[in-house]
Amino acid sequence: MKDLRKKGKLNTATLNTAILAIVLLVVLLKLYAELVPEAQHAGNNLTATGVPLASLFSGSGLVFIIIMAALIIVIVKAFMPGGK
């Protein structure tokens, strides 16, 4: 039978995992906030030159929608409880 007295207690490993997850989330969002606007600006400049299929890389193009969706999926998967 399980020891029910341990339920709800935090140990060092749990706290370390939570702190690491928060730090990685902040770093990931900061990295996204720094790099994506510059890449969108470059995509807009590429679109202005008339290169074929350059609209995929514009600020509202498909590439950045995929990047945003991937970021949301990574964040949600990271905080979902793991199955056994």
Q: Tell me the three-class secondary structure of the chain, residue by residue.
A: CCCHHHCCCCCHHHHHHHHHHHHHHHHHHHHHHHHHHHHHHHHHHHHHCCCCCHHHHCCCCHHHHHHHHHHHHHHHHHHCCCCC
pLDDT in tens, 28-37: 899 999 999 9
The mean pLDDT value for 23-49 works out to 92
Q: What pLDDT is stored for residue 14 in this prediction? A: 81
Asked if residue 57 lies in contact with residue 43, where contact means CB atoms within 8 angstroms, the answer is yes
pTM of the model: 0.67
